[in-house]
C-alpha cells in the first residue's frame, strides 16, 4: 500500500516539476527575445550612413546581432549575416573606412550561448517533451503485464505492523455455526502438516454470506487471530480502477505477497463488486471486472494443494455471484451469517460494553429485547450513542434511559424538537399516531407499542415505535391483516376525526400497498388466487433493487391480482375502521395525553388502554 502510494506521488511530482521547468524555459526564452527588441532596430544601411556622419560612438557585435551606441546616448540594434564580418558588411553599404576607425568596435565571442538559445534549445525542448510523453504511454500499456508496474501494486493491507491480528473468536458473539465451520480452517492454519499427511484437501476459499454489519470482517480477522497468521485484506470495490488491467495485476501482486507469508488469510471484502455473474451485458467497464475475477480464479486454481493461503471472501449478494466462483477448489465452503437473535444480541452488547461504564441496574437484556433485527454493527452503534448521550448529560456512567434513547436514535434518526408545527398540525399528528397505537393495541398485533410521540424525527412528523415481542421468522395471514390495519390506523383516524386525510399518511400507504401486493403475489394469502406465486423477480445487480419483473401469468390474471390486492386492503381497512369507531374514547384519551406531554412510553400506554379493553 505504502509503496504504491509513494510511487504515485513520485509520478505526480515528476510531472509537476516537468511542467514547471517547461514554463520557466518558455518564460526565459520569451524574456530574452523581448529584452533584445526593447531598443529600436535599424537597417545596416542607416548604420553605415550614421558612421559616415560621425554620429556613432561604438558598436558591440555578438554573433549576428549588433548593439549600436550613438553619441547622443541612444541605442539601436541591427542585424547582419552571421558569417559575414562587420567591416565587410558595412563596406557593402559604402561606409567610409577612415570614419569607421573612429568607431569603437567590440566583438564578443557569443556563438556558444547564442547557438544554445537560438538553435539547439528550440529543437531540444519539443524532442524531450515527446520523449517523456512516449515514456509515460509505454508504461501505461505495459501495466497489464508488468509486475513491477507502480500502479498495479495491490492495495492489500496487512493488519498490524507485526502482522498479528489481536481479534479472536471471543470478540465475536453469537454466530455459533459460523465459528464452528471456521474452526476447521483455524486448525488447518495452525498445523497444516497434520492434514496434509492424511491427504486431506483443505478448502482454499470460504465465502461469508450475510448482510452489512453482521460481522463478516470481524470473523475473518478472528480466524487469522486464532491461528496467529498474517491477515491481508482488500475490498472488491478497490479493484475497480481507471486503468484496464490494473485489477488483475493487483490480484497477482496480492497473492504473491500472501504466498510469501503463508500460512495466512487473504480477505476479499465485497467480492460481488468483481465477482458478479459474467456476461450480463450490463454496466460499463466489464473487461476490467472480468479480468480481475479471472485473475482471482487463476490464482486460486494455481495454489499448490495445501499451500497454506486461505481466501475468505465476504458478500451480501450471493445471488449475483458468478457460478465459477462457487466451484469446488474455489469458494466451496459457504458460511451463512444471520441477524443475531435475542441471546446473541445480549452477548454482542456485553462485548461492546466492556470498555463502557454502565450504571448499576442496567440490564443489557432489556436493550436486546428492544432491538430485534439489529445487526452487530447497529448494536455497537447503540452503545456508542448511549455513551455520547451520557457524556452530554455530564454523567460518569451510562444509564438505561440513555441506551433506550440511543436505540430510538439508531432506528429513527435524531429527534427534531425544534421543528415548528402549528396547533392544527400538532393535533393532526396526534390523532394520526394515536390511530396507529390504538389499533395496534386492539387488533392484538404481534408487536408491542413501545412509544408514541408527536415529536418529529427524521422525515416523520411523529412516530409510533412498535417492536416485536419476540424474534419471529414466520408470519401468518391474520398477522399480516392486523399489520395492514395498524399501518392504516393513522390515515383512518385522520379521516374519522377531520373528515379528510393529509399527506402525512403517504409513506404508510406505500408500505400498505407493498405488503398487500406481497401477500397476494408471493405468499398465496388471497382467497381467489390460490397457492401460487406471481411474477419472477430478477434482481438487477448494480442498482441494488429490482427493476425488472418477469411476468409469468396472463393479462387476465394481472387484472385479478390488482383487484385482489385492493380487496385485501379493503378487508383490513373495514376491520380497522370498525375498531376505531368503537374505541373512539381510547383514541381521544391518547390524543389528550399526547397533546399535553408529547410522548407516551410503553408502560404508561398500557395503563391508559386498560380501562377501554
Least distance to ligand ADP from the beta carbon of 385, Å? Answer: 14
The pairing of strands 231-235 and 599-601 is: unpaired
339 Rama sector, left if φ>0, alpha if ψ -120 to 50, beta otherwise: beta
Cα angle value 571/577/582 (rounded, 5°): 135
380 binds ligand ADP (CB under 6 A): yes
377 binds ligand ADP (CB under 6 A): yes
Cis peptide before 263 (omega within 30 of 0): yes
Least distance to Zn ion from the beta carbon of 443, Å? Answer: 15
| Beta bridge partners of residue 545, listed in sequence order | 540
User: Candidates 171-179, 394-402, 418-426, 435-443 — which segment interacts with ligand ADP by CB under 6 A?
Assistant: 171-179
Least distance to ligand ADP from the beta carbon of 178, Å? Answer: 9
- Comparison of 159 and 175: residue with beta carbon closer to ligand ADP: 175
Q: Which three cell numbers stand for residue 46?
A: 542607416
Kindly tell me which residue out of 225, 263, 275, 376 binds ligand ADP, with binding defined by CB under 6 A. Answer: 376
Cell 471472501 locates to 313
Site for ligand ADP in 302-341 (CB under 6 A): 314
Kindly tell me which residue out of 76, 86, 103, 173 binds ligand ADP, with binding defined by CB under 6 A. Answer: 173
Size of the site for ligand ADP (CB under 6 A): 18
217 binds ligand ADP (CB under 6 A): yes
Site string for ligand ADP, 85-114 (x = CB under 6 A): ------------------------------
- Comparison of 209 and 569: residue with beta carbon closer to ligand ADP: 209
Least distance to Zn ion from the beta carbon of 507, Å? Answer: 7
Residue 490 binds which of ligand ADP, Zn ion, none (CB < 5-8 A, kind-dependent): Zn ion
**Edge-to-edge strand ranges of the sheet holding 264-269:** 157-158, 231-235, 264-269, 309-315, 205-209, 333-336
Measured in degrees and rounded to the nearest 5, phi and psi for residue 385 equal -60, -40
* E strand or H helix that includes residue 403: helix 400-412
213 binds ligand ADP (CB under 6 A): yes
**Edge-to-edge strand ranges of the sheet holding 75-79:** 40-41, 75-79, 65-70, 56-62, 104-108
Least distance to Zn ion from the beta carbon of 590, Å? Answer: 14
Is 433 among the residues known to form the active site?
yes
User: Candidates 14-22, 155-163, 374-382, 486-494 — which segment interacts with ligand ADP by CB under 6 A?
Assistant: 374-382
Per DSSP, the residues of 2-55 read: HHHHHHHHHHHHHHHHHHHHHHHHHHHHHHHHHHHTSSEE--HHHHHHHHHTT-
174 binds ligand ADP (CB under 6 A): yes
Which one of the listed residues 158, 299, 385, 433 is annotated catalytic?
433
Least distance to Zn ion from the beta carbon of 435, Å? Answer: 8
Least distance to Zn ion from the beta carbon of 442, Å? Answer: 17
348 binds ligand ADP (CB under 6 A): yes
CA 41/CA 55 separation, integer angstroms: 16
Contacts of residue 430, Cβ cutoff 8 Å, sequence gap at least 6: 454, 462, 590, 591, 594, 595
Kindly tell me which residue out of 172, 293, 398, 493 binds ligand ADP, with binding defined by CB under 6 A. Answer: 172
Least distance to Zn ion from the beta carbon of 439, Å? Answer: 11
- Comparison of 226 and 508: residue with beta carbon closer to Zn ion: 508
CB 279 within 8 A of CB 176: no
Per DSSP, the residues of 94-109 read: T--HHHHHTSEEEEE-
Q: 364-377: buried (b, 16+ CB within 10 Å) or exposed (e) per residue? A: beebbbbbbebbbe
CB 416 within 8 A of CB 429: no
215 binds ligand ADP (CB under 6 A): yes
CA 248/CA 144 separation, integer angstroms: 8
- Comparison of 351 and 540: residue with beta carbon closer to ligand ADP: 351
Residue ranges that bind Zn ion, judged by CB under 5 A: 490, 508
In the three-class reduction of DSSP (H, G, I as helix; E, B as strand; rest coil), residue 536 is classed as strand
Q: Which of 259, 260, 265, 195 is nearest to 225 (CA)?
A: 265
222 binds ligand ADP (CB under 6 A): no
- Comparison of 385 and 508: residue with beta carbon closer to Zn ion: 508
Least distance to ligand ADP from the beta carbon of 454, Å? Answer: 33
Contacts of residue 431, Cβ cutoff 8 Å, sequence gap at least 6: 493, 494, 497, 498, 587, 591
351 binds ligand ADP (CB under 6 A): yes
Kindly tell me which residue out of 218, 244, 342, 410 binds ligand ADP, with binding defined by CB under 6 A. Answer: 218
268 binds ligand ADP (CB under 6 A): no
Per DSSP, the residues of 170-236 read: GGS-S-HHHHHHHHHHHHHHH-HHHHHHTTPPPPSEEEEE--TTSSHHHHHHHHHHHHT--EEEEEH
Q: Which of 147, 165, 316 is nearest to 233 (CA)?
A: 165
- Comparison of 264 and 379: residue with beta carbon closer to ligand ADP: 379
User: Candidates 136-144, 168-176, 191-199, 260-268 — which segment interacts with ligand ADP by CB under 6 A?
Assistant: 168-176
Residue 508 binds which of Zn ion, ligand ADP, none (CB < 5-8 A, kind-dependent): Zn ion
Residue 247 binds which of Zn ion, ligand ADP, none (CB < 5-8 A, kind-dependent): none
- Comparison of 169 and 480: residue with beta carbon closer to ligand ADP: 169
CA 564/CA 189 separation, integer angstroms: 57
- Comparison of 224 and 572: residue with beta carbon closer to ligand ADP: 224
Q: Which amino acids are annotated catalytic?
A: 433
Binding-site ranges for ligand ADP (CB under 6 A): 172-175, 210, 212-218, 314, 348, 351, 376-377, 380
Amino acid at each position: 500500500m505504502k509503496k504504491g502510494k509513494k510511487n504515485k506521488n513520485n509520478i505526480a511530482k515528476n510531472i509537476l516539476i516537468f511542467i514547471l521547468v517547461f514554463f520557466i524555459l518558455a518564460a526565459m526564452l520569451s524574456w530574452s527575445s523581448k529584452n533584445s527588441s526593447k531598443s529600436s532596430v535599424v537597417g545596416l544601411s542607416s548604420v553605415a550612413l550614421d558612421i559616415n556622419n560621425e554620429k556613432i560612438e561604438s558598436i558591440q557585435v555578438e554573433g549576428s546581432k549588433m548593439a549600436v551606441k550613438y553619441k547622443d546616448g541612444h541605442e539601436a540594434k541591427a542585424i547582419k549575416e552571421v558569417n559575414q564580418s562587420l567591416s565587410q558588411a558595412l563596406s557593402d553599404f559604402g561606409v567610409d573606412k577612415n570614419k569607421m576607425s573612429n568607431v569603437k568596435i567590440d566583438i564578443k565571442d557569443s556563438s556558444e550561448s547564442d547557438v544554445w538559445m537560438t538553435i539547439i534549445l528550440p529543437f531540444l525542448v519539443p524532442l524531450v517533451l515527446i520523449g517523456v510523453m512516449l515514456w509515460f504511454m509505454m508504461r501505461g500499456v505495459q501495466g497489464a503485464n508488468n509486475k513491477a508496474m507502480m500502479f498495479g501494486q495491490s492495495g492489500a493491507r496487512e493488519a498490524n505492523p507485526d502482522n498479528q491480528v489481536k481479534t479472536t473468536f471471543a470478540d465475536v458473539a453469537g454466530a455459533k455455526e459460523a465459528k464452528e465451520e471456521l474452526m476447521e480452517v483455524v486448525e488447518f492454519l495452525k498445523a497444516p502438516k497434520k492434514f496434509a499427511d492424511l491427504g486431506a484437501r483443505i478448502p482454499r476459499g470460504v465465502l461469508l454470506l450475510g448482510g452489512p454489519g453482521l460481522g463478516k470482517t470481524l470473523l475473518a480477522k478472528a480466524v487469522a487471530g486464532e491461528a496467529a497468521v498474517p491477515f491481508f485484506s482488500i475490498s472488491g470495490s478497490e479493484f475497480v480502477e481507471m486503468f484496464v488491467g490494473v485489477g488483475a495485476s493487483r490480484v497477482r501482486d496480492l497473492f504473491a505477497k500472501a504466498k510469501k507469508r503463508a500460512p495466512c488469510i487473504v480477505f476479499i471484502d465485497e467480492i460481488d463488486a468483481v465477482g458478479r455473474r459474467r456476461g450480463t451485458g450490463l454496466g460499463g467497464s466489464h473487461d476490467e471486472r472480468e479480468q480481475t475475477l479471472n485473475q482471482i480464479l487463476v490464482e486460486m486454481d494455481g495454489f499448490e494443494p495445501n499451500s497454506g493461503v486461505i481466501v475468505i471472501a465476504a458478500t451480501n449478494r450471493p445471488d449475483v455471484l458468478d457460478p465459477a466462483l462457487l466451484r469446488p477448489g474455489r469458494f466451496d465452503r459457504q458460511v451463512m451469517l444471520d441477524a443475531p437473535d435475542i441471546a446473541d444480541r445480549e452477548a454482542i452488547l456485553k462485548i461492546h460494553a466492556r470498555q463502557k461504564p454502565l450504571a448499576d441496574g442496567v440490564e443489557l437484556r432489556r436493550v436486546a429485547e428492544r432491538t430485534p433485527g439489529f445487526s452487530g454493527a447497529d448494536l455497537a452503534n447503540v452503545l456508542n450513542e448511549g455513551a455520547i448521550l451520557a457524556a452530554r448529560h455530564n454523567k460518569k456512567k451510562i444509564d438505561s434511559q440513555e441506551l433506550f434513547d440511543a436505540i430510538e436514535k439508531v432506528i429513527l434518526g435524531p429527534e427534531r424538537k425544534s421543528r415548528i408545527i402549528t396547533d392544527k398540525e400538532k393535533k393532526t399528528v396526534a390523532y394520526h399516531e394515536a390511530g396507529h397505537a390504538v389499533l395496534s393495541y386492539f387488533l392484538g398485533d404481534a408487536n408491542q407499542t413501545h412509544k408514541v410521540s408527536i415529536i418529529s424525527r427524521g422525515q416523520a412528523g411523529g412516530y409510533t415505535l412498535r417492536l416485536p415481542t419476540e424474534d419471529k421468522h414466520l408470519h401468518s395471514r391474520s398477522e399480516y391483516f392486523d399489520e395492514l390495519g395498524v399501518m392504516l390506523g393513522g390515515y383512518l383516524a385522520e379521516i374519522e376525526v377531520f373528515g379528510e386525510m393529509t399527506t402525512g399518511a403517504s409513506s404508510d400507504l406505500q408500505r400498505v400497498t407493498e405488503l398487500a401486493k406481497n401477500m397476494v403475489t408471493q405468499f398465496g394469502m388471497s382467497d381467489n388466487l390460490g397457492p401460487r406465486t406471481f411474477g419472477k423477480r430478477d434482481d438487477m445487480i448494480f442498482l441494488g433493487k429490482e427493476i425488472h419483473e418477469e411476468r409469468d401469468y396472463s393479462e387476465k390474471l394481472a387484472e385479478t391480482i390488482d383487484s385482489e390486492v385492493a380487496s385485501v386492503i379493503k378487508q383490513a381497512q373495514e376491520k380497522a375502521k370498525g375498531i376505531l369507531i368503537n374505541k373512539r374514547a381510547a383514541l381521544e384519551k391518547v390524543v389528550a395525553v399526547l397533546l399535553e406531554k408529547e410522548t407516551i412510553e410503553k408502560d404508561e400506554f398500557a395503563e391508559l388502554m386498560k380501562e377501554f379493553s
